[in-house]
A and B are shown apart, each in its own frame.
Chain A
C-alpha cells in the first residue's frame, strides 16, 4: 500500500515536473527577495514573455509536425527591420527612406506578416513538395533571409520610430501593455486553430504518422506549407513587437530566439518527435525560461552563469518530461 502511494507521488512529480520547477523557483525567489512579488515586476515579466510566446507558438506548429524552424530568429530580425524602415519619424536625421511619410503601423504589420509568410511558404514548399528535411530547409531560409535583410538595411541599425508604432509597447489597456494583449490574442487564435479546425487536427496527425495521415486523405503537403507560412507570419509579428518595445531594430534583432523558442516548446511538453503539444505547453515553456532568468537576476547570479542554469533546467526538465512517454517496461 505504501509502495502504491509512493508510486503515485513519483508519478505526480514526473507528470508535472516542469510546473513544479516553476513554482519552486517563484516561491523561493519571492521569499528571499523583497521586490519579486510586485505587480510591476510581473507586468515586466509578461511583456518580456509576450513576443517570445508568439515565436514559440509559431515554432510549436513546426515541432508538432516533427519539424523545427531555424529561420525564426533571422525572420524576426528581418521583419523588425522592414517594419522599422517604414515607421520612422519624418524628421528623424538618420532616416532610412528620407522624405517618406511613415505608414500606418497596422498596415506595416500586415505587410511584414505577409512578406514573411511568403518566405515561410517557400520553406514549407521545399519541405513538403521536395522532401528537404525541415532542419536543412529552414537552415537555408535562415541564410537567405539574413542576406536579404543585410542587403535591404545595409546593416545600419534603425531608430526614431513614430509614436503610433512604439505605442504597441507603451500603450496600455486595463493597465496592461498592448504587447501582452497581443500575446493573449495570438494564444487564443492558436488554441482555436489547434483544437477547433481541421488544419490543427491534421497537424497532429502529420506529426504522429505522416503516412497514415496521407492514406486517411489528409492533404499533408498543403498543410505543411500552411504550418511554415503561418509560423513565419508569427515571427514577423514578434519582430514587429520587439521593434516597438526596443524603439529600434537591427538585422541582429532576434538572433538565437529560435533556439530559445524550441527549448521552451520542449520544456512545456511539445514532443520533439512530433504529434504532441498544446498551446499551454508553449506558455509554460516560455514562462519557465523567463521566470528562471528573472529569478536568477533577483538572486544576484552572474548574468553569464544564467546560460548554464538554463541549460541545466532544460536537461532536467526534459529528462523528467520524457518519462511520460517512454514506454514503461
Chain B
C-alpha cells in the first residue's frame, strides 16, 4: 500500500483575472483526518473542486494509492471512491430524505420487463445509514422539513453511504449544534478506524485540534506547508494562515453603555415550537450577545423582531414607545437594521453591483424632487464605505457575487451603516468569513457601539460571543433560559448550562 491514499501535486488553476491556485500540494494518509486550513479565498474550496472534478486543473496531477489518475467530473470522482460534503448544500428540498440520499443511484427492482425504483429498499437503506449516525429521521420525510443542521447530517450520511475511501468535509460543522458535531466526530473516528482518508475544511480551531491528524495550510492560493496536528498551537496555525501574529483578535471595549433603547416583552411566535414569551432590554451603546445551540430559535426571534416572521403576541417598545412591526420596512422605520444569518438567501442580491446592494435600503433617502435618484450622492456613500470598510473590489460596479464571503458581508454591513439604524441586529456576523475579515467586523461593531448604537449579536461561536458581548442572553428550545450581565461571570460553562436547560 502506498504511503499516501491521495496526493495532489503542483495543482494550479486560474480564473479570468485571478490566479486561484499556484502549485499546491496535498498528501493524505489513509486512516487519517487531514485538516485543510486557510482564510476564505485561500483556495481551499477551489482545490477540492479540482479534486472532485467540478473544476479542471490547469496544471498538476492527482495520485490515488500512488497511481496517477484523471478525474473528469463528480460522477467519476464518486466512482473512484471520493465523496464530498458540500459547504453549501444543494439538496432537492421537495423530495424525501431517501430520494435525496439515493439520487442518481436509485435501487431498482424488476417488475416484469420493467425496471422500477425499489422504494422499500431505498427507505430501509436510508434508515440504516441514518441510524449509523445516530439520527432518527423518517426516511420518507421531505428534506425541506428538516433544519439546515439536520440536512447537513443527511448530506454526511449520504457521503458515508457511498462507502467512499476518501471523504471531503467542506465546513460540515458550520450549521451543526455541539451535539451534532459530537455525532459527526464519532462517525469520523469510526471511519478513521476503517482506513478512510478524510479531508476536513473548517475555520473552527478547537475542532481542528480535536479531530485532525495532519494539517495543511494554504494562503492566497499557495501551499504553506503540512504539519502534524499536535505540532502546532492554535496561535501558530492562525499565524501561518494569515502570515502575521494575531495578538488579541477582539478589540478592546471602549464603549459606554447608556439608557434602555428597546424593551421587548413577551414576544411569542405563531408557531408553538418556536420562540415563546421572550422579554429582554437593550441599551444604547451595548453589544448584547445571544447564545444558544443551533435550533434554539434565536434567529427566528430576531427575524420576528425585524418583521420577517409573524408574531402571535408580545410588545416591542423603542425609546419608550410601542411600535408595531409587520414587515422589515416597519422595523427600519422604527430604527432597526438586520444582517441576516443566511447571507446568500436573504442578504445579498447576487446579480447586482456593490452599489445597488448598498443602495437598496437607502434609495429612499437619496431622492431629488421626491422621485429622481441622486446618483452622485449615492456613489459617494458607497465609495466611502468601500474605503472605510476596506472592501476589496476593483469598483463599486463589480457584481457582489464575484466577491469573497468576507467582502460580501462587509457590503451588507455597509448597507446598514448607510441606513444608520439605532439598533443593529447581527445574526452570525462572521459566519464563513476569514480571520482577517472577522477582526475587521469586530472593529466595526466596537466602533458602532462607541457611537451609541445598540447591537444585538447572535453567535454560535463561544469565544466570539464572550469576547464581543457586554451582556449575554442565552436561549434554549425557544425560551430565554438565562442572562449573564457581569463580564467576569461570562464563562463557557455558564452559557452552556443555560443553553441546555431544555
Q: Using a CB–CB distance below 8 Å, which chain A residues touch chain B?
A: 195-198, 201-202, 204-205, 207-209, 211-219, 271, 274-276, 328-329
Task: Please name 9 pairs of A and B residues whose Cβ atoms are closer than 8 Å in the assembled complex, sorted by A.
Answer: A196-B375, A198-B371, A201-B356, A202-B360, A204-B349, A209-B345, A214-B308, A329-B54, A329-B55
A273 smallest CB distance to B (angstroms): 9
Taking CB atoms, residues of chain B closer than 8 Å to A208 are: 349-352
Given A198-B373, A209-B349, 20 additional A-B pairs, CB 8 A: A196-B372, A197-B371, A197-B372, A198-B363, A208-B349, A211-B345, A212-B347, A212-B360, A215-B306, A215-B308, A216-B360, A216-B361, A216-B415, A219-B329, A274-B351, A275-B350, A275-B351, A275-B352, A276-B351, A329-B54
A308 CB to nearest chain B CB (Å): 33
User: Whole-angstrom distance from the CB of B14 to the nearest CB of chain A?
Assistant: 10
State the CA gap A202–B371 with chains docked (Å).
13
**Interface size, chain B (Cβ < 8 Å):** 34
Residues of B within 8 A of A (CB): 15-16, 54-56, 306, 308, 327-329, 332, 338, 340, 345-352, 356, 359-361, 363-364, 367, 371-373, 375, 415, 419
Give complex CA distance A104, B328 in Å.
Answer: 46
A213: chain B residues at CB < 8 Å are: 349, 360
When chains A and B are docked, how far (Å) is the Cα of A166 from the Cα of B364? 42
Counting chain A CB atoms within 10 Å of each CB, the highest count among B55, B347, B349 belongs to B349
* 9 tightest Cβ-Cβ pairs between the two chains A and B: A208-B349, A275-B351, A216-B361, A209-B349, A198-B363, A217-B332, A211-B346, A217-B329, A208-B351
Residues from chain B with a CB closer than 8 A to the CB of A218 are 329, 360-361
A216 — which chain B residues lie within 8 A by C-beta?
A: 328, 360-361, 415
Contact B349 A212 (CB under 8 A): yes
Q: Which residue of A lies closest to B367 (CB)?
A: A198
Q: Measured between alpha carbons, how far is A54 from B306 in the docked complex, in Å?
A: 40
Within the assembled complex, what's the spacing in Å between the Cα atoms of A215 and B419?
A: 13
B352 adjacent to A197 (CB under 8 Å)? no
B348→A201 contact, CB < 8 A: no
Task: Give the nearest-CB partner of A204 in chain B.
Answer: B352
Which chain B residues lie closer than 8 Å to A205 at the CB level? 349, 352, 356, 360
Taking the nearest CB of chain B, how far is it from the CB of A198, in angstroms? 4
Is the Cβ of A214 less than 8 Å from the Cβ of B15? no
Q: A202 CA to B338 CA in the complex, in Å?
A: 18
Q: In the complex, what residues of A have CB within 8 A of residue B348's CB?
A: 209, 212
A202 — which chain B residues lie within 8 A by C-beta?
360, 363
Pairwise interchain contact B16-A328, C-beta atoms closer than 8 A: yes
Bound Cα distance A271, B350 (Å) = 13
Would A329 and B327 count as touching, CB distance under 8 A?
Answer: no
Chain B residues lying within 8 Å of A214, measured Cβ to Cβ, are: 308, 327-328, 346
Cα separation A201 to B359 with both chains bound (whole Å) = 9
**Which residues of A lie under 8 Å from residue B359 when comparing CB positions?**
201
Given contacts A204-B352, A328-B16, A329-B56, contact A215 B347 (CB under 8 A): yes
B352/A217 in contact, CB under 8 A: no
Chain A residues within an 8 Å CB radius of B15: 328
Q: Which residues of A contact B345 (CB under 8 A)?
A: 209, 211-212
Question: What residues of chain A lie closer than 8 Å to B419, measured between beta carbons?
Answer: 217
Residues of A within 8 A of B351 (CB): 207-208, 271, 274-276
A201 to B54 CA separation, bound complex (whole angstroms): 35
Instruction: Identify the closest chain A residue to B329 (Cβ).
Output: A217
Q: Name A193's closest neighbour in chain B (CB-CB).
A: B371
Complex-state Cα separation, A121 to B340, whole angstroms: 32
- Complex Cα spacing A204 to B367, Å: 18
Contact among B55, B328, B375 for A215, CB-based, below 8 A:
B328
Shortest Cβ distance from A271 into B: residue: B351
Verify A217–B328 contact, CB threshold 8 A: yes
What CA separation (Å) do A249 and B340 show in the bound complex?
Answer: 53
Q: Cβ of A209 and Cβ of B373 under 8 Å apart?
A: no
Known: A204-B356, A217-B332, A328-B16. Is A196-B373 also a contact (CB below 8 A)?
yes
Q: Which residues on the A side are within 8 Å of B352 (C-beta)?
A: 204-205, 208, 275
Whole-angstrom distance between the Cβ of B331 and the nearest chain A Cβ: 8
Q: CA A129 – CA B363 in complex, angstroms?
A: 24
B373 touches A215 (CB 8 A): no
Candidate in A216, A218, A274 with the most chain B CB atoms within 10 angstroms: A216
- A329: which B residues are within 8 A, CB to CB? 54-56
Name the one of B54, B350, B364, B367 contacting A209, with C-beta atoms under 8 angstroms. Answer: B350
In Å, the complex CA distance between A205 and B358 comes to 11
Chain B residues within 8 Å of A207, by CB: 351
CA distance A197 to B329 in the complex (A): 18
Shortest B329–chain A CB gap in Å is 5
Contact check, B350 vs A198: say whether CB atoms are below 8 A apart.
no
Q: How far is the CB of A120 from chain B (nearest CB, A)?
A: 21
Q: Which residues of B contact A219 (CB under 8 A)?
A: 329
Nearest CB of chain B from residue A7's CB, rounded to whole Å = 9
Residues of A within 8 A of B372 (CB): 196-197
